Amino acid sequence: MDNMGLLQIQIYTKKFFRTLRRESTVSVFIGIIITMLVMYVTQENMFKYYEGTKSGFFSLICVCIWIGIFNSIQLVCREKNDIVKDELDKSLRATSYMASHFIYQFLLCMVQSIIVFIVFMIFVGDKMTGSPLAYLITIFLIMYASDAMAFVISAAVPSPIVAMTVMPLLLLVQLVMAGVLFELNGMAKTVANFTVSKWGMSIFGMIGDITNNFPSKVGGEALTQVTEQVEEQIGMSLQDPLTLDMISEVDRNMYVNDGGEVFLCWLILIAFIVVFYFLSVYALKSTTKKMKK
Amino acid sequence: MIIRSDSAMRPATTPVRGAVRQAYLIIFTDIEKEAVIVRLSKNMSLGREVPGSKPDIGIDSPIMSRNHGAFSVGADGFYYQDNDSFNGTFINGVLYKQNINPCDRPIRLNDGDVLRIDTHDPNKAHDGAVTIVYSTAYDKRSKWRHAKLGSGYTPIGLSAKNLIEFDRRQMRFVNADAAATPTGCNIRNISGRNNIFYNNRLIPGSVHIKRKEVFRIDQNYIYYDNGTLLYNICLVTEPGLEVRLAETHVSDKMRKKVLLKDINLNINVGDFALIIGGSGAGKSTFMNSILGKYDITGTIKIGGRICTSGGDLTSGIAYVPQTLPIRKEERLIDVVTDTCVLRCKRSFTKEQRKQFILETLDSLGLKSKANMEIKKLSGGEQRRAAIANEVVTDASIFFLDEPDSGLDPKSGMELMNNLKALSDVGKMVMLISHNYASYPSPEKIYTKVIILAKSNRDGIGRLAFCGSVTEALEFFGVTALKDITKLINPVSENGDGRADEFVEKFRRMHGYG
């Protein structure tokens, strides 16, 4: 990138700081409220039972993805036709324009991540397992990758209305593909590898080591019932307690950290961000190209 | 004044003699008249024009001797010698006169030297005083104008707010002011830039000049007498916009659709051109063809440079579309500053850029709104903000697509005046407008009118006319511009359907096609 490209990035980043400050403040506050709400609901069973911790992480991922997508889904498409197209016709480069957006969103996501992390710590910090810094980095990367993904949509669609129509679909795909709500098989399993939520869930599971640290609540309750029935039928107490492993092999493979996996998953999320940047540049160029046919 | 010289008939580019640069004398005698320009081409005598005396440069002044002085050509330039005249000759304020400071040999002249024939009163100029400037850089295309000084100091600068407004391409910095005094005029160099001269010496602060004296800002000479300034403006007559558009088309997979055909016209530097035509005549297509947004067959030359595939928006062309291409959440000053930094080709210091931007906003009546968010400006102000955002790029060609749409006639007229002021400083301004009928005296606003018409035969837009407003009225045989669109519009659109007739008439008049 030459001097003009760098100058454009500098100017447009400043421009976004001026023009997006107000709405960014609003989105930060909304982020705080959503995180508080989610953590309030999930805190009881989080870091206590395997299922509760997994649901808690899944909810946290939903919050991060939601915040990230909402940060950027309308930013490009709302000014693309009237302003950006004209600026691209004159001297602006799509790479510089998108880079400026990415820089601004990097900082915004950083602030939002810290706030989400603080709320997370307030609710479950006392019983949390794993490195707090690792959680913070993961929250940031999930949020920023989602933000970057929404930029691709924003650059590709013609208007904010279309963007907001596409957004639920985007969110839904991410939630389904996290592998928490449904067990993924075949094609879905392959597609899941291209979602932020799947890798985010893996990282959280690995950091908290949830398969080893927390008992299964479902398994525990079922085992108590079976033990009671057996003891009632034989008329005496069992000397050796029954055991029941309710954590699937898939989950064990997904959340077990044998060293270096967390770092590898972070790199995958970073790669997503880079790919989303180039995709958004391509989408912007394609949809704003000159009238020539 | 009588000039006995063949110099006026020789082409300006012909070298005088060998390596000697061509030189001019700019002679000021009367504030009411233009300065007289004499091209020095040989040894020339200077004297009073009386019966029996025939100097090469004869000036009718009572204080001038019959054989006052002589210009001669040397190997390294021109020389002047006072011929023992009664009043002598001041050269750059120094008197050369027999018995006082004899001019015993010719004095070599330098560009900007001021020769003056006057009496010797240091405070008062004689009514017959003559001021002559020797210039090797004078542009013959200069236009001379008068400006009346008001009370107090009157600004001289680069924007329309000044009494004397110079073209930015002539000089980069001007910030001076002038005030008439009982004996002459006070000049102040406000900016402190090194480009204001008196007697060919820099004026760092202020100076008092007598009546009938001259000072210089770069190559612009300003002569003072009786509360009036006579000055030259050199409108840069670089090549303008030359359109030879055989065809503009769009292509689908299977077929090509022609939108415009046979558009041949020239827009000169300083033109303010109105583009009109019925709906579908191709007004916006014409603009977009030049902007390179359509495939064209033909040639477009901008400033003599061929842009066959259309113009390059990054090189000196500004375009203001119908929808305002600016972020309305931003402050006006931020928007124009960013644009200036990114797109203006001139190199500025931070302070110079700020001054340039503020002058631009001032010229468009937006200086007081500089710190306001654009969304808080009125509709007309927002339009002007969009124009200011292009003016700060220092573009030479401006295309505006219906800049006055949605504006009331008063705001529209203000906008037209702003655009006219742009063309007055040497920009080419072309605009599409549907509100032109609501502005009085269009012939005083627009220097050219371009009329496009949709052919009844094939529906393709063609040029029906290009010329002055007066010529257009005559060509179409109407009394107002608004009547032209009725003539050329199709019958189905309540017109007279005579588009092809006028297209053919104009084509035959100009012998193309």
CATH of the domain at B251: 3.40.50.300
Domain final residue pick, B205, B235, B265: B235
Closest chain A C-alpha to B366 CA, distance in angstroms: 21
- Asked whether residue B397 is domain-assigned, the answer is no
Whether the pLDDT of residue A9 is over 60: the answer is: yes
Interchain contact, B319 vs A11, CB within 8 Å: no
Query: CA–CA separation, A251 vs A58, rounded Å?
Result: 14
- Asked whether residue A293 is domain-assigned, the answer is no
Q: Are residues B95 and B201 in the same domain?
A: no
Interchain contact, B325 vs A87, CB within 8 Å: yes
B2 touches A at CB < 8 Å? no
Shortest CA distance from B250: residue in chain A: A293
pLDDT score at B134: 92
pLDDT score at B149: 86
Q: Give percent of chain B above pLDDT 90.
A: 24
Q: Are residues B258 and B214 in the same domain?
A: no
Interchain contact, A83 vs B288, CB within 8 Å: no
Q: Are residues B47 and B181 in the same domain?
A: no
- Domain, as residue range, for A156: 3-287
Write down the residue that tokens 């908290």 correspond to: A208
pLDDT score at B166: 65
Interchain contact, B319 vs A86, CB within 8 Å: yes
Q: B 222-251 residues with CB below 8 A of A?
A: 250-251
Q: Are residues B212 and B265 in the same domain?
A: no
Q: Are residues B49 and B178 in the same domain?
A: no
Q: Which residue has the higher pLDDT, B164 or A243?
A: B164
Three-state SS at B93: coil
Whether the pLDDT of residue B310 is over 50: the answer is: no
Interchain contact, B327 vs A19, CB within 8 Å: yes
Average pLDDT for chain B: 83
Query: Out of B323, B325, B342, whose CB is closest to A7?
Result: B342
Whether the pLDDT of residue B111 is over 70: the answer is: yes
pLDDT score at B447: 87
Shortest CA distance from A23: residue in chain B: B329
Closest chain B C-alpha to A23 CA, distance in angstroms: 11
Query: Out of B293, B314, B325, whose CB is closest to A82?
Result: B325
Interchain contact, A7 vs B341, CB within 8 Å: yes
CA atoms within 13 A on the CB side of B209: 32
Interchain contact, A291 vs B294, CB within 8 Å: yes
Most confidently predicted of A52-66, A97-111, A252-266, B180-194 = A97-111
Domain final residue pick, B90, B123, B138: B138
Query: Out of B252, B291, B330, whose CB is closest to A19?
Result: B330
In this structure, how many other beta carbons lie within 10 angstroms of the beta carbon of residue B505? 15
Whether the pLDDT of residue B189 is over 90: the answer is: no
Interchain contact, B342 vs A11, CB within 8 Å: yes
Whether the pLDDT of residue B169 is over 90: the answer is: no
What is the domain count for chain B? 3
- Asked whether residue A89 is domain-assigned, the answer is yes
- Asked whether residue B312 is domain-assigned, the answer is yes
Q: Are residues B434 and B298 in the same domain?
A: yes
Contacts of B329 in chain A (CB under 8 A): 18-19, 22
Confidence of residue A186 (pLDDT cuts 50, 70, 90): confident
The predicted-structure confidence for B260-290, as pLDDT tens digits, reads as follows 888 888 888 778 999 998 778 889 889 888 8
Mutant choice from B254, B329, B353 vs A, greatest count of A C-beta within 10 A = B329
Q: B10 vs B13, B35, B46, B78, B86, CA distance in Å?
A: 8, 20, 21, 18, 34
Domain final residue pick, B110, B138, B166: B138
Q: Are residues B152 and B242 in the same domain?
A: no
- Asked whether residue B370 is domain-assigned, the answer is no
What is the domain count for chain A? 1
Q: Are residues B436 and B310 in the same domain?
A: yes
pLDDT score at B17: 41
- Asked whether residue A181 is domain-assigned, the answer is yes
Query: CA–CA separation, B104 vs A191, rounded Å?
Result: 100
pTM of the model: 0.67
Q: Are residues B157 and B266 in the same domain?
A: no
Query: In the structure encoding, which two tokens stand for residue A3, read together?
Result: 């001097």
Contacts of B252 in chain A (CB under 8 A): 293
- Asked whether residue B377 is domain-assigned, the answer is no
- Asked whether residue A292 is domain-assigned, the answer is no
Q: Are residues B230 and B250 in the same domain?
A: no
- Domain, as residue range, for B201: 143-235
- Asked whether residue B325 is domain-assigned, the answer is no
ipTM of the complex: 0.80
Q: Are residues B188 and B242 in the same domain?
A: no
Whether the pLDDT of residue B27 is over 90: the answer is: yes
Cα radius of gyration rounded to whole Å, chain A: 23
Q: Are residues B258 and B116 in the same domain?
A: no
CATH number, domain containing residue B175:
2.60.200.20
CA A143 to chain centre: 5
- Asked whether residue B381 is domain-assigned, the answer is no
Task: For residue A72, give the nearest of A107, A36, A39, A38 by alpha carbon.
Answer: A107
